[in-house]
Structure 1
Amino acid sequence: MNASSCDKDSFNSLERCYSREVVASPGTSGWPFVGQTLEFLKAGWSGHPEKFIFDNIKKYRSLIFRTHLAGSPAVVFCGAAANKFVFSNENKLVQLWWPKTITKLIPSTSNFEESLKLNKMLHNFLTPKTLEPYIGFLDIIAQRHFASHWDNREQVTVFPLMTNFSLALACRLFINVDDPELVEKLADPLEQVLRGTVSMPIDLPCTRYNCAIKSSRFIINEFTTIVKQRKTDLEQGTYKSPTQDLLSHMLLTGDDNFVKDSNIAEKILGLIIGSDTVGSACSSIVMFLAKLPDVYERVYKEQMEIANLKSLGELLTWNDVNNKMKYSWSVACEAMRLAPPIQGTFREALTDFIYEGFLIPKGLKIYWNANSTHKSAEYFPKPKEFDASRFDGQPVQPYTFVPFGGGPRMCPGKEYARIEILIFMHCLVKRFKWKTMIPSEKLIVDDRFRPEKGLPIRLFPHPKA
């Protein structure tokens, strides 16, 4: 079918242009300008982000419905079959699309070709073979983080510490900078940028979005300085490192698109924003372990079996993380099922196509959401209950557990995220038990899944042997 004579911005005109068998999906465009964005965000703020999805599925009796999100008309795809369709048709029928709130904060994200090249580079860089030499370095940074921010304290607030922790590890991996002062300097601006990614795009003084833009420019300037110095060091042959960091990899193997210093700095910021989702996952793990003492005891037993075999000062190894933390990873997966660090992402239709009898015109935005399968009883019986055994043994049904997306656009840092989470869990449980200071505190979604009050906890250190 050819939709060239149709008004692609109007679902009604599309229905007139096509036969009765092929129609626009059910739904509503919501309010002028904002569409249903506020309704979508309110569901997350309430602690039940899946409510927006399942209310519309029930209302329209359809796993596909139209809406208006992030400033654009969109259609929401739900369920495992929809996930498979989106992931399998990447760069064929659909391609990644970012809302304007993000492209203004990180301009390089609007360049699709550059994004593809960077994604390919990341997949080549963030392999198990590449990451294996980093395990010891990441363990050192994690231990230093706990020594500086957790040890000798009766109480901590977990969520803001996770931004600091994820940022420190990302700086070491991506740009080979191990500088606690730089991490402290960037932590608050990074938080401002993250909060701005889901704000209303109103660039007026003191608005959340305006603060995010200023913070983004500040971080990019800091990274640009680092890029310039690294270029000089590489050209002069003075840069030495026991591991290959991503920045050096980009400078040595990238093409002309990776030459401009500020462009590289923007890409690094984008990567660090992506890696911060691990901090969200770690926060939810801390909350669930506090609420589930039996689960905590099993994780503690597993991690102490590893710790007790270590001599004083001996670091974690690839074998420890990859082969000896099976139950801990099942717990992490169940936490990410209930509180997915990536709620979903947008795609854009590259051409007109038909999905489940509904017309998807070229240019229409498509939103897939992890909660449509993570919270569905069809795929996970008793979906509201925490049950780590779901991930212990037989693999889950394909395209149902998607905390890192899927297909060619699957998060290239998935393996790195696994390592970071498990190192964090190891360092945490071998030091402490804890209890939440706000028993009724809930997990909400703003810029990412987060404890509503930041998750203050009281620490109970284990007796030292």
Structure 2
Amino acid sequence: MKANTAEKWLEDRVKKYGPVSKLTLFGIPTVFIHGQAANKFVFTSNILNTKQPISIQTLLGKRILTEVSDEDHKRIRGALMTFLKPEVLKQYVGKMDGEIKKHFEMHWQGKETVTVLPLMKTLTFNLLCSLLFNLEHGARREKLTKWFEQLLQGFLSVPVNLPFTRFNRSIQATSRIQNMVMNIIHEKKSIKQEAYPHKDLIASLLSLRGNDNATLLSDQEIVDNVRAVMFAGHDSSSVVLTFLIRHLANDPVVYAAILKEQEEIATSKNSEELLTWEDLAKMKYTWRAALEILRIFPPIFAGFRRTREDSEFGGYLIPKGWQVVWAANMTHMNDSIFPEPSKFDPSRFENQASIPPYCYVAFGGGQRICPGNEFARIQILVTIHYLVTQYTWKLCCEDNKFSRHPIPTPTQGLPIQIEQKNRL
């Protein structure tokens, strides 16, 4: 992953062993599968559980959406979607707009050079703090940011909990995050709020009731799933934004098309007006460019499942308890699905219905499709709007390589030279 040779390793494996092969991964008997049929099997089969490696389970919790099945999955997903569905999120476009404007004022304005990836992580994390917890800028948010970075460092480390190891530091960080989120939950429970739902994710989840009038999710389920949403929303959006900024620096045609689209929106508003849901709907080309970045540089390289019983795929028996691994790039970079797959071409997404099902899986698929994809769309579009209308930039680093730690990370975090536009 660090050497960024994982894609070639998988391609070589397929050439040698075919579309289904077995190996040992993280000490567990594992089957690697790929292709459209494999993606469909992974996202729709009731025979598979979503079991992450022990390190991820330990750090995010065992009651997160991706770790549960059947009725629990339906219940937790339904609870999350009460906040993450478009008709609710459209109320928060203005709030996200304000947070993003503040980010550019604090971290970009007056600077000659910036390093993109850490700043995009800061931006997406601040948006999550605002929308998930309604947590204002200050000491508590700073602590949460520090602990979350420590948590991420142990994600794919060897799960041996010994002092001074990366995994041990991550366990300490996740424990501190859990305590803070529990405190926030107790604070919200102690306050009577007339318009309780939809103020933030935690308030929304606390407001939900089951048939017995008990809270639909337990406090621990709320903590685990908030932590998982933090991880998913933080890394995915920051990677897309970073690699889109990197690409636009060297692609004047795509940059000009995005700039034209965003300038038309900017000139239709006065400087004090916030972006609206209707403005986002006009950003069609910008979003197609983001989808193309997700195709070429999927933030999540591979996914893990575990068989609940003896299973059959592709004519092979997969025993109960075995791990199943799939990788997004195996269909994203398949030239029979996406012609000239290495070419950056947003027009591929002009008619998304023309893309075969379960071939573009940047957000997953079927019942396992990412519930936060609309949240990510708003983050990305609003950020790109202010970036291209307020700044020009060029890369400081000629090395255009990247590695995975475990997310795609450009050389040196992508330092760029920026210049603020003079706007009338």
Alignment of 1:64-463 (within 5 A): 64-89=20-45, 92-109=46-63, 112=68, 114=72, 116-179=74-137, 181-233=139-191, 237-238=192-193, 243-254=198-209, 261=219, 263-276=221-234, 277-322=236-281, 324-393=282-351, 395-463=354-422
Q: For the residues of structure 2 that align with 1:254 and 1:457, how far apart are their CA atoms?
A: 49
* Local SS of the residue matching 2:413: coil
Amino acid at match of 2:333: K
Q: For the residues of structure 2 that align with 1:261 and 1:397, how far apart are their CA atoms?
A: 40
Query: 1:330, CA displacement in angstroms?
Result: 0.9
Amino acid at match of 1:218: R
Query: 1:392, CA displacement in angstroms?
Result: 2.4
Q: For the residues of structure 1 that align with 2:159 and 2:74, how far apart are their CA atoms?
A: 26
Query: 1:144, CA displacement in angstroms?
Result: 0.6
Of 25, 49, 58, which aligns to 2:15?
58
* Local SS of the residue matching 2:392: strand
Q: Which runs of 5+ in 2 are unaligned?
A: none
- Greater CA radius of gyration, 1 or 2? 1
Q: For the residues of structure 2 that align with 1:442 and 1:385, how far apart are their CA atoms?
A: 16
Amino acid at match of 1:129: E
Aligned partner of 1:36 in structure 2 is: none
Distance 1:410 1:393, change over 3 A: closer
Query: 1:429, CA displacement in angstroms?
Result: 0.9
Contact 2:2 2:406 survives alignment (8 Å): no
Q: For the residues of structure 2 that align with 1:190 and 1:204, how far apart are their CA atoms?
A: 20
Query: 1:382, CA displacement in angstroms?
Result: 1.7
Q: Which runs of 5+ in 1 are unaligned?
A: 1-43
* Local SS of the residue matching 1:200: coil
Amino acid at match of 2:403: I
TM-score normalised by L of structure 1:
0.84
* Local SS of the residue matching 1:244: coil
Mean alpha-carbon deviation: is it higher for 106-115 or for 221-230?
106-115
Q: For the residues of structure 2 that align with 1:330 and 1:180, how far apart are their CA atoms?
A: 36
Query: 1:240, CA displacement in angstroms?
Result: 5.5
Q: For the residues of structure 2 that align with 1:340 and 1:258, how far apart are their CA atoms?
A: 33
Distance 1:430 1:182, change over 3 A: farther
Amino acid at match of 2:68: F
Distance 1:70 1:406, change over 3 A: farther
Query: 1:265, CA displacement in angstroms?
Result: 2.5
Identity %: 36
Q: For the residues of structure 1 that align with 2:155 and 2:209, how far apart are their CA atoms?
A: 28
- Report the number of matched residues: 415
Aligned partner of 2:2 in structure 1 is: 45
Distance 1:243 1:249, change over 3 A: closer
Contact 1:77 1:367 survives alignment (8 Å): yes
Aligned partner of 1:34 in structure 2 is: none
TM-score normalised by L of structure 2:
0.92
Query: 1:205, CA displacement in angstroms?
Result: 2.5
Amino acid at match of 1:268: V
RMSD of aligned alpha carbons = 2.0
Q: For the residues of structure 2 that align with 1:123 and 1:232, how far apart are their CA atoms?
A: 24
Distance 1:337 1:259, change over 3 A: closer
Query: 1:423, CA displacement in angstroms?
Result: 1.0
* Local SS of the residue matching 1:291: coil
- Once the two structures are superposed, residues 106-161 of structure 1 have per-residue CA deviations (whole angstroms, 9 ceiling, x without a partner) of 33347636555322322343111111101111111111111111111111111111
Query: 1:181, CA displacement in angstroms?
Result: 4.3
